Amino acid sequence: MYRKFFGLSEDPFNLTPDSRFLYLSQKHREALANLIYGIQERKGFITLTGEIGSGKTTLCRALVNELDAQTTKLALILNPCLNEIELLQTINEDFGIAAESHSKRDLIKALNQFLLDESAADHNVVLIIDEAQNLAIEVLEQIRMISNIETETHKLIQIILMGQPELIDMLARPELEQLNQRISVRYHIYPLDEADVAYYIRHRLFIAKAQIDIEFTPEAFSLIYKFSGGVPRKINVLCDRCLLAAYAKVTYAIDDSIVREAIREIEGEQARQTASKKKPAAPPVKITNILAIAAILTLFIFAGVVLGINLARKGIQSAPESDIAALQEKPSEPSYKEVWNPMPSNPNVSATGSATPTFTPAPTPTKIPHRYYFDWEYDKNNICRVNNPQFAYMAAIITCVRLWNIEVELEKFKKLDAAAVARLNLEENEELGLKKLVIDKDLISAIRYDVPFIVTFASPPKGFSPAAVLTRVEGISCTIADPVNGLKTVSRSELMEKISQCVIIYFDKMNLGAMLKGEESERVKKLQEFLKTKGYFRGEPLGTFDAATETGIKNFRRYYKIESLTLLDPETVLMLSTRMVTLRPRLYSSGGQD
């Protein structure tokens, strides 16, 4: 109902487990990293637990997107209310092997042969069971028996049990002690903290492509956190009701009064549902009022079109200001967060004035003050913002490297003129391991690397700075972090027509491009381990750059269709170094295969 009013392409607070909307808080990032680690290291049994609505199923969908479909075979069981035979049939059916038999022996024999065949092909096999707290004791024991299928060196199947906290208590029972002892990786997802709740809400609004700057006041965020306890599903229910109430009031601002009204509605419905078990409930008065107001509003808007009355928003150009740091999946590697000071403590610089920007903000029926003037500072989306287009390229570099978990101190930039800023050369900083690859006008080639990058314009179109960061690609839409103008959404075709260059800045701390044949080092070993995990390297990761390592790199290049003659050319180094980072920043939110 409110989607058109807020300029949303879809419902931002839907309750379905859509991995595109997954917000990777520190807790969810750690959970995903633990799952990936358990699978890649073939740990056998893994458990992931969390309260109802904590995001387990959504995280599971994201995990599926992270796994290499060519080297990982996956079975996902969403309905655990099965007996032993039904479970085996469902597992075999998901793996595409014989599942018709009602004989446990025949089903296990087919599964055993499948696992041996996949192991011979150096493939990993993963079984994920959601809502595992609903499994019967006998079925859990059957799952333990499946895990007995192994070689002397590794497990042939990795089993992930996902469920509510009751699963922890269930596994602690004496009759399941053997199963409990086999669990190598355990992780419990806790609710979001108060700061993450704000990022979570902005993230979902961004993914839903909100074309209105929907303002939540600090008091509103605080109330949402207190009501939800940081549980994502409860946040979704409340925020959906808040947007409906704001729509009825013809406002783009969500303050504490709107949140309180939404909470009363939800609590009233819950009370009515409880009372309905004893007697029929009265119709929901407030929601009826809201819907009636919404209907009247629709009539007024229609009348406004006829009479020339503008009751709604006019020509919004910019996308919503949601949190890029939340949207772009900050990599867990490097594990530290670097803070870089680009100048000495007493630089010999000249002060320079800044041009006063002109803005035409969209009129909104809200009293919340908006801030549109920025001078070398991060906005609430973590975009490095400036008011002078001459500084746009450096600001774009800073925004880009921050996505790689490197924070640049901005205070001293305010004292530099354009020439001094240009001399800093941050995009190729050996100390931080930053490198760049420049591609002229070929947006499609740059997008295939699936990392954020800078786009420059020789003649910037109206409303664009000379440089900006492409942070997200969704279908035909591209999201741009503009240092002067903030977040913008443009079509891919429009961007292709106007760009001059694509500058890809990436993190290569190991300096892979300088690696030599015959070299014995820790970086060679790490490269071999990565290539082996992905199925490109068949040898043992001993740390020597030998013929098998060269073959592994060639296999990697072949997969990504890299055609240059040099083994470790800049394109190959870019692909390797970015793919070796767990949960790197990506252009595609759904996270395809690497």
Token digits of residue 131: 């809502």
Contact 432, 503 (CB under 8 A): no
Contact 487, 321 (CB under 8 A): yes
453 and 382 within one domain? yes
Query: Regarding beta strands 72-77 and 124-129, do their DSSP bridges make them parallel or antiparallel, or are they unpaired?
Result: parallel
Q: Tell me, yes or no, whether 168 lies in a domain.
A: yes
pLDDT of residue 417: 78
Q: Tell me, yes or no, whether 21 lies in a domain.
A: no
SS3 74: strand
385 and 253 within one domain? no
180 and 69 within one domain? yes
37 - beta bridge partners? none
Query: DSSP letter at 390?
Result: G
SS3 162: strand
133 and 50 within one domain? yes
427 and 538 within one domain? no
**Whole-Å CA distances, 171 to 48, 167, 175, 183, 266:** 12, 6, 9, 10, 35
542 and 496 within one domain? no
Token digits of residue 518: 């015959």
Q: Which of 255, 272, 289 is the last residue in one of the domains?
A: 272
497 and 383 within one domain? yes
Q: What share of the chain is helix, strand, coil (3-state, %, to 5)?
A: 45, 15, 40
Contact 311, 304 (CB under 8 A): yes
Structural domain range at position 553: 512-580
Mean pLDDT by 10 residues, the chain (594 residues): 87 90 85 89 92 92 84 88 92 93 93 93 93 92 87 87 94 92 93 89 86 85 96 96 93 92 88 62 48 49 38 37 38 43 42 34 39 68 86 93 84 80 78 87 89 92 90 84 87 87 91 92 94 90 94 92 89 92 77 50
Q: What is the SS3 string spanning 227-262?
A: HHCCCHHHHHHHHHHHHHHHHHHCCCEECHHHHHHH
Q: Which residues of 65-95 are buried (b: 16+ CB within 10 A; e: fewer)?
A: bbbeeebbbbbbbeebebebeebbbbbbebb
Token digits of residue 304: 């406004």
Q: Tell me, yes or no, whether 459 lies in a domain.
A: yes
pLDDT of residue 493: 83
Give me the CATH number covering residue 263. 1.10.8.60
541 and 451 within one domain? no
Q: Which of 226, 251, 272 is the last residue in one of the domains?
A: 272
Give me the CATH number covering residue 565. 1.10.101
Question: pTM of the full predicted structure?
Answer: 0.55
518 and 488 within one domain? no
214 and 107 within one domain? no
Separation of first and last alpha carbons in the chain = 38
Dihedral sign for Cα 33, 34, 37, 39, please: negative
225 and 153 within one domain? no
- Distance from chain centroid for Cα 593: 14
Query: Regarding beta strands 384-385 and 486-491, do their DSSP bridges make them parallel or antiparallel, or are they unpaired?
Result: unpaired
Q: Tell me, yes or no, whether 291 lies in a domain.
A: no
SS3 91: helix
Q: Which of 453, 484, 507 is the last residue in one of the domains?
A: 507
Residues 551, 114: Cα–Cα separation, whole Å? 28
Token digits of residue 394: 């450096």
pLDDT of residue 289: 53
Q: Tell me, yes or no, whether 554 lies in a domain.
A: yes
SS3 385: strand
Provide the domain count of the chain.
4
Give me the CATH number covering residue 469. 3.90.70.10
Residues 594, 575: Cα–Cα separation, whole Å? 9
- Distance from chain centroid for Cα 277: 41
Q: Tell me, yes or no, whether 311 lies in a domain.
A: no
455 - beta bridge partners? 468, 502
Q: Tell me, yes or no, whether 431 lies in a domain.
A: yes
Residue 327's CB is within 10 A of a number of other CB atoms, namely 27
**Whole-Å CA distances, 74 to 90, 184, 185, 516, 592:** 12, 19, 18, 37, 15
Q: Tell me, yes or no, whether 244 lies in a domain.
A: yes
176 and 68 within one domain? yes
